[in-house]
Amino acid sequence: MYENLLDRFLTYVKINTRSDENSTTTPSTPSQTEFALNILKPEMERIGLVDVHYLEHNGYIVGTLPTNGEGFKHTIGYISHIDTADFNAENIAPQVIENYDGGDIALGSSGYSLSPKDFPSLNNYKGQTLITTDGTTLLGADDKSGIAEIMTAVEYLASHPEIEHGEIRVGFGPDEEIGVGANKFDVEDFNVDFAYTIDGGPLGELQYETFSAAAAELRFIGRNVHPGTAKDSMINALQLAIDFHNQLPAGERPEHTEGYEGFYHLHGLGGTVDEATSSYIIRDFEDEAFENRKAEMEKIAAKMNAELGEERVILTLHDQYYNMKKVIEKDMTPINIAKSVMENLDIKPIIEPIRGGTDGSKISFMGIPTPNIFAGGENMHGRFEYVSLQTMEKAVDVIIGISTFKEKK
């Protein structure tokens, strides 16, 4: 139905736009700026968007499709991120599997394969067109599927002026995967009533609850003494890191939690006897539970320092984002519209919490309620990533449906 969707997506994913968490620039990598200016900007102008502009201070490329009808109450935004995750993104060579037969899919000559035995989600896509990796890179459907879907929807509306729609604003930004992309989001420039991130997974996802999130960085200061004469004098910083970790609830880790259950996640650990560091992310849905988790880490650090008789466990905590439900539940209009559109398209809305976050988490608290809608990706962030073309087409349908939706008086 959307003849440019597949080619557009394949063009986008072949360009490496991986972000870099160690960078201090915005965007974190030059390739994201180049993608915005050299790929997206001319294409946005070509398909009919106006006032297309790149914001130097935050790395967003923004454009507008003016309304062509009356009776539309809202200006609506659509947002997707340009960057891809921390997996090989160089020389991406996507495979297009037409009429998937339900069996194993060899990922190029890499020796890897996609199998329903390992990834049962494949059973949902028999007979569809799948786009996969060649086994050596990620695909980048997170979130170039979202960009392709927004661009295709806008192109369709612009080329069909007989279809009335409200005013639409689109924004494509950097560095979502490293958690800083929306920090400098310009609410005044975007100027919409509400928005949607097109950044979800399988068909039907409609999400307005996320984790609240914090990061914990720990530094352990040891005392290195020759192990042969270490009794009562050595303080092993690596052992301090282990001792700290062992005092956290063993069952409250990502591998043991689901649904609304929060967790502590150790994702970095290193050092020597003399000094060690560890890094955690803290996640929970409810405010009290979220605060209790941070307080528990502070309690463990204080206890260890008291036992050591001096400060050798140094904890630094900082909040990253908050559960956007607190904002969106005050006015469920964007959820109700998206839900109605999906149901009219015979798509079953899957309204479940995100065990993670989106740029919409931060943007919602900045003043623009921004829930999340499916973009189609499966197994994201690695070599087993894939997406269904038919699901991407459905995402385009939803974007068009929302844009043309008139609320009853």
Phi, psi for residue 252 in degrees, rounded to 5:
-110, 55
Residue 221 · residue 275 · CB < 8 Å: yes
| Crossing angle of the two packed helices 5-13 and 389-403, in degrees rounded to 10 | 110
State the Cα–Cα distance between residues 265 and 338, nearest whole angstrom: 33
Phi, psi for residue 342 in degrees, rounded to 5:
-60, -45
Return the number of other C-beta atoms located less than 10 Å from residue 93's C-beta.
12
State the Cα–Cα distance between residues 383 and 378, nearest whole angstrom: 11
Side chain identity at residue 227, one-letter code = P
Q: Is 287 annotated as a binding residue?
A: no
Q: Is 186 annotated as a binding residue?
A: no
Residues annotated as part of the active site: 83, 176
State the Cα–Cα distance between residues 191 and 363, nearest whole angstrom: 12
State the Cα–Cα distance between residues 396 and 409, nearest whole angstrom: 26
Question: What is the 3 state secondary structure string of 378-389?
Answer: ECCCCCCCEEEH
Q: Is 331 annotated as a binding residue?
A: no
Residue 269 · residue 213 · CB < 8 Å: no
Q: Is 81 annotated as a binding residue?
A: yes
Q: Is 142 annotated as a binding residue?
A: yes
Contacts of 161 (CB under 8 A, 6+ apart): 68
Residue 221 exposed, middle or buried by CB count within 10 Å (0-12, 13-18, 19+): middle
Q: Which residues are annotated as a binding site?
A: 81, 142, 177, 199, 381
Q: Which residues are annotated as a binding site for Zn(2+)?
A: 81, 142, 177, 199, 381
